[in-house]
A = this chain, B = another copy of it.
Amino acid sequence: MILTVTLNTALDITYRVRSLRPHASHRVSDVTERPGGKGLNVARVLAVLGHEVTATGFAGGATGRVVQERLTATPGVVDALVPVAGATRRTIAVVDERSGDTTQLNEPGPTVTPAEWSAFQEAYADLLASASAVALCGSLPPGVPVGAYAGLVRAAKAAGVPVLLDTSGEALRRGVAARPDVIKPNADELAELTGSHEPLRATQDARRRGALAVVASLGTEGLLAATPEGRWRATPPARLHGNPTGAGDAAVAGLLSGLVERLPWPDRLTRAAALSAASVLAPVAGEVDRGAYEELLGRVAVTGEVTAA
């Protein structure tokens, strides 16, 4: 199975209102809820691709219970979230029906105690034993040390499990130094890591900092990859209109499934770009329709060069 780690899980709630006006009272016309946090989004897309996935991380309180119930009801995904005393956070996206704009309210995550962090690390080590690859995704909740991902990368490598890291800021900086197999920063995260706003240079620089392969997700410009085998760019078909939330998570699922299936890099990137595009086009942010993905597969252009042996 593929293991995804989401230390800061969430219940993502979407409200539709006629028009959001501060200081007014609003009737919510429609409520949707789904388990959130980048690693859970990755898990769902991997399941759509037919992979067996185990999702770990933390869950607590009434909201954590809802996240676990929903996860358990997702075909192909096994819930291995570790309990915390604090409450899993809710995120609320308020969609203004008139303008189409979204206002976001994000609760703080639960504070994880040292004992809970230790319990997670033990559970993680156990899960690695049967994992073919692992994705470490998203922000760290309060209480988890900033070097957490570096430790989880090292544990995966010690267990011989390929590891992809998708986070930001100091957690990414420290994690990269532990030499993950792949990182998937977006343009901002890559610039913050390397100090360079020039993606070609920055992906190379991120490799020098420790990442074996770097795949930068550059929005409408697609993916830019620097790997030991070569450098490639995967470009989606024309400009896509839709919701880019979750597109990066779909790309992670594509990269990870391609790694497990031992696809050549260009094929992994094609898959990742097609999943990313399918996610943008999906009516619900981050959900991927298998039919749309398969149709898009043929419309991704990959260009690049293989590294001389």
Whether A105 sits at the interface, judged by CB under 8 Å, is yes
Distance, CA A101 to CA B26, complexed state (A): 14
Cβ contact of A106, chosen from B27, B69, B101, cutoff 8 A: B27
Mark A15-50 against chain B: 1 for CB-CB distance below 8 A, else 0.
Answer: 101001111111111010000000000000000000
A29 contacts B102, CB within 8 Å? Answer: no
Chain A 4-21 interface residues, beta-carbon cutoff 8 Å to B = 15, 17, 20-21
A24 contacts B62, CB within 8 Å? Answer: no
Whether A107 sits at the interface, judged by CB under 8 Å, is yes
20 contacts between A and B (CB under 8 A): A15-B105, A17-B105, A20-B22, A22-B22, A22-B96, A22-B101, A23-B96, A23-B99, A23-B101, A24-B104, A25-B103, A25-B104, A26-B104, A26-B105, A28-B105, A28-B107, A28-B108, A62-B62, A62-B69, A92-B105
Cβ contact of A108, chosen from B21, B22, B29, B103, cutoff 8 A: B29
Q: How many residues of A contact B (CB 8 A)?
A: 29
Known: A23-B96, A23-B99, A25-B103. 8 other contacts (CB 8 A): A17-B105, A20-B22, A22-B101, A23-B102, A24-B103, A26-B106, A28-B107, A62-B65
CB-CB under 8 A for A108 and B20, given A62-B66, A92-B92: no
Chain B contacts for A65, CB-based, 8 A: 62
B105 contacts A94, CB within 8 Å? Answer: yes
Distance, CA A69 to CA B62, complexed state (A): 10
Cβ contact of A27, chosen from B22, B27, B92, B108, cutoff 8 A: B108
Chain B contacts for A20, CB-based, 8 A: 22, 103
CB-CB under 8 A for A103 and B28, given A62-B65, A62-B66, A65-B62: no
Distance, CA A107 to CA B32, complexed state (A): 11
Chain B contacts for A92, CB-based, 8 A: 92, 105
Chain B contacts for A27, CB-based, 8 A: 106, 108
Chain B contacts for A101, CB-based, 8 A: 22-23
Distance, CA A40 to CA B29, complexed state (A): 24
Distance, CA A86 to CA B214, complexed state (A): 46
How many whole Å from A194's CB to the nearest CB in chain B? 25
Distance, CA A108 to CA B66, complexed state (A): 19
